[in-house]
Structure 1
Amino acid sequence: MKLEGKVALVTGSSQGIGQAIAVRLAAEGANIVIDYRSHPEGAEETLTKVQTAGGNCYMAQCPKSQGHIIKADLGNVSDVRQMINQSIQHFGKLDILVNNAGLERHASFWAITEEDYDAVMNVNIKGAFFATQEMVKHLIATQRRGKIINISSVHEELPFPNFTAYCVSKGGMKMLTRNLAVELGPLGITVNNVAPGAIETPINTKLLNDPQKLGALLENIPLGCLGQPQDVASVVAFLASSDADYITGTTFFVDGGLLWNYHEQ
């Protein structure tokens, strides 16, 4: 129970990687704020899983992890600030912020619309930026240390044709992490990225149902399989714990070796 007594907010935690992170942090003893934008039934599912995971404690008088659901659009700064403040009001504090919410748009560069560009950048980078800012204000006001963990992507390094806006947002996430690690380090706040590769999540359903494309992708992964959301969640749990207190400004790639072996077909 490495996170007992801690409170963690996981954005975009109604499904996929975000849900797995919320459940894993609960299993480590943290109370969890579950954020969603348009998938309330998924948020309720996450809440049930969080409460179940947080109740799996066999020590006498061990407190059970609790969950709380907040609806917020990470592309809207007002929503972002309310999300942080409501989290603090409910649990009394925040210790860990996981900036997981994200989206992508598939389009050739010359066909990307301003609307699609704004949607991607607003959620993937602006939302994370201002959620982190509000979290840091809280930590400064309460004179406490804290953990910021960003869910980036191998595409902070790896080009991904037809997903330029997404790649730009993740490249921005890499620099945001590095810069804040330096600026916030003196305050005892660590900032790190976890960068998944090809993970088996609902967003990849189309890929999973296309044997040809899936086979070509697997040829690029030295470990020969897609990752699972739990693979990402395990690294987040480590970074959220005191075991990672001396780690900041770093990206951890969870990709089965994809980044260093990838080539276009």
Structure 2
Amino acid sequence: MSASITHRGEPQLDERVVVITGAAAGIGRATAERHAADGWTVVAVDTDADACAALESELPQLTSVVGDVSDLAVLQAARERAVSIGRLEAWVNNAAVLQGQPMLELDTAHIDAVLAVNVRAVVLGTRLAAEEFVRKGTRGSIVNISSVHARLSFAGSTMYDTSKGAVEALCRVVAAELGDRGIRCNAVAPGSVMTERALEARRLAPQDAEPIPDWMLLSPAEIAEVVAFLTSPASSAINGAVLPADRGLSVTFLGERRRPDDATASPEEEAEGGA
């Protein structure tokens, strides 16, 4: 684990700080930009050191921790960075492993890799944030990025879909356990988000694209708006909820979404963002 170093002196208690994982691209980057625009100081966590450096140069309100979120030490470093700057008030678990593998071909390496990032890291990040909220008496907000995959079935993405269902269950548990302390934990479930990676995948293999009409496609900035709402006081009444941000995809019948012999990840998996 490595981390960029920023010295800011004593923490400023009036400075709102948010930790965002998988912040170097896609939904994570858009969420970092949105919070910086709202006056938050952002601690960005990602494995891409170059992208983190570029973000720091573009956003003076941002500092980064470079490392794998499945490593507890990386998440602890992010929290330490946050509290050294100001008051940790929000934590966004966005990083995710996006590979797909069909049920009959599942191997333990794939299972462990997906669960380590998509579930274990989310649980640990949530716990670290909640510990700090309790320590400081902060009415903090945790936002976990889920997916339409938690409610819709996509052949070939067994563990990804399973992991997103676990993320949503976690939000409900945290709300039940810590809601009386003013701590909120919610999820955003994006649909088909056109990140740079998703656009490139569609360009290279248009025949493999899901039958999702163009008007349903989303930008990362649109998802960032929903996340920013959940980290703001305007959403104080919302806890343990999952907000679909899919332009109606999850309630619309679009016919068969995948060929049963297609073992690759679906465009939604490629489009979610994360690290």
Normalised by the shorter chain, which TM-score bucket? Answer: 0.7 to 0.9
Partner Cα distance (1:6, 1:87) in 2:
9
Partner Cα distance (1:74, 1:83) in 2:
10
CA contact (8 A) 1:151 1:193 kept: yes
* Residue aligning to 1:120: 114
CA contact (8 A) 1:218 1:225 kept: yes
Partner Cα distance (2:181, 2:231) in 1:
16
CA contact (8 A) 1:81 1:130 kept: no
Partner Cα distance (1:107, 1:140) in 2:
39
**Offset from partner CA, 1:12-58 (integer Å, 9 cap, x none):** 10111100000001111101001111x1121122223433xxxxxxx
Partner Cα distance (2:44, 2:205) in 1:
32
Partner Cα distance (1:34, 1:117) in 2:
26
* Matching of residue 11 in structure 1 with residue 21 in structure 2: yes
* Residue aligning to 1:110: 104
Partner Cα distance (1:100, 1:203) in 2:
16
CA contact (8 A) 1:50 1:67 kept: yes
* Residue aligning to 1:224: 215
Could you tell me which of 31, 52, 63 is aligned with 1:43?
52
**Offset from partner CA, 1:117-143 (integer Å, 9 cap, x none):** 111111011101011111111111111
Partner Cα distance (1:189, 1:131) in 2:
14
* Matching of residue 26 in structure 1 with residue 60 in structure 2: no
Could you tell me which of 62, 71, 79 is aligned with 1:76?
71
* Matching of residue 263 in structure 1 with residue 250 in structure 2: no
* Aligned-residue offset at 1:87: 2.5
* Aligned-residue offset at 1:213: 3.3
* Aligned-residue offset at 1:168: 0.7
CA contact (8 A) 1:15 1:46 kept: no
* Residue aligning to 1:55: none
* Residue aligning to 1:254: 245
Q: Secondary structure at the residue paired with 2:87?
A: coil
Q: Secondary structure at the residue paired with 1:94?
A: strand
Partner Cα distance (1:249, 1:140) in 2:
18
- How many correspondences in the alignment? 242
Where structure 2 has 5 or more consecutive residues not aligned to the other structure, the ranges are 1-13, 258-275
* Residue aligning to 1:206: 201
* Aligned-residue offset at 1:225: 4.0
TM-score by length of 1: 0.86
Please tell me the residue identity of whatever aligns with 1:41: D
Q: Secondary structure at the residue paired with 1:207?
A: helix
* Residue aligning to 2:140: 146
Could you tell me which of 216, 223, 237 is aligned with 2:228?
237
RMSD over aligned CA atoms reads 1.7
Identity percentage over the alignment?
31
CA contact (8 A) 2:19 2:90 kept: yes
* Aligned-residue offset at 1:224: 2.4
CA gap 1:30/1:20 in 2 versus in 1, 3 angstroms: same
Please tell me the residue identity of whatever aligns with 1:47: E
Superposition pairs for residues 180-195 of structure 1, below 5 Å? 180-195=174-189
* Residue aligning to 1:169: 163
CA contact (8 A) 2:15 2:87 kept: no
Partner Cα distance (1:26, 1:16) in 2:
16
CA contact (8 A) 2:27 2:195 kept: yes
CA contact (8 A) 1:191 1:248 kept: yes
**Offset from partner CA, 1:81-100 (integer Å, 9 cap, x none):** 232223322x1331110000
CA contact (8 A) 1:139 1:145 kept: yes
* Matching of residue 134 in structure 1 with residue 143 in structure 2: no
Partner Cα distance (2:207, 2:99) in 1:
22
Partner Cα distance (1:97, 1:131) in 2:
8
TM-score by length of 2: 0.83
* Residue aligning to 2:9: none
Partner Cα distance (1:76, 1:264) in 2:
38
Partner Cα distance (1:137, 1:158) in 2:
33
**Which of 1 and 2 has higher RCO (CA within 8 Å, sep 6+)?**
2
Partner Cα distance (2:50, 2:97) in 1:
19
